[in-house]
Structure 1
Amino acid sequence: MNAANKSVTINILKDAGSFAENKDVAKSLRENQILPFLADKDTVITLDFEGVEDTTQSFIHALISEAIRKHGIDVLDRLLFRSCSDDVKNIVRIVTDYMQYDGSNS
């Protein structure tokens, strides 16, 4: 990230709790924060999972898949995942791998 980049942090625990599973919460975060911030090509978004013990594949998919579809897989260079438990890391990896595969076939 160069000095011209802006940085925004989204606290997942605050909205989703320690078990992030509610797809409506993910959709709200996506539509009201992630996508609007990604519209500015100089903004890097940190998704802070501190305190989130676990999540579901459907939550992560609802949170980031539209951003990947809309901006391409390289958008992951501007979406940073911070303080993820091993379980959360695994789910994020599954979803991003799926989106890379899915995107190559569309």
Structure 2
Amino acid sequence: MTKVKRYAGSFAGDKDAAATLREEVLKPGLAKHRVVLLDFDGVELATQSFMHALLAQAVREDPASLEHIEFKNCNDDIQALIEIVVDYAQEDFAVEED
């Protein structure tokens, strides 16, 4: 389990922190076909750009990767941002395939 707060603090707004989390945790875990658990405990707010930097590339590269990413302790706002970014990334992927 990875504590997002360790990378981002209570306000997840830094795209560089999201990129670090993506490169150090998310991508290596997915490459090994492991479930990656992202724990948002203590993260009160996040930006769409943070979530985009964290998730969009993985979803675009392999939409099935979502089956291996779990989100824990997300408040309603963070959950909504995750859904927005995932939907956007999947739509973007579908357009590229056409």
Q: What letter matches 2:29 in structure 1?
A: F
Q: How many percent of aligned residue pairs carry the same amino acid?
A: 43
- Deviation for aligned residue 1:68: 1.2
Alignment partner, residue 71 of structure 2: 81
Alignment partner, residue 17 of structure 1: 9
CA-atom RMSD, angstroms?
0.8
- Deviation for aligned residue 1:64: 1.0
Alignment partner, residue 86 of structure 2: 96
Q: What letter matches 2:66 in structure 1?
A: L
Deviation sequence 1:57-101 (CA, Å, 0-9, x none): 00001001111122x212111001110010100100110110111
Alignment partner, residue 67 of structure 1: 58
Alpha-carbon separation, structure 1, partners of 2:30 and 2:4: 17
In the alignment of these two chains, the number of paired residues is: 96
- Deviation for aligned residue 1:14: 1.3
Question: When you count strand as a share of all residues, which structure comes out higher?
Answer: 1
Question: When you count helix as a share of all residues, which structure comes out higher?
Answer: 2
Alpha-carbon separation, structure 2, partners of 1:12 and 1:61: 14
- The runs of 5 or more residues in structure 1 that have no matched partner are 1-8
- The runs of 5 or more residues in structure 2 that have no matched partner are none
Superposed structure 1 runs of 4+ greater than 3 Å apart: none
Alpha-carbon separation, structure 1, partners of 2:42 and 2:17: 16
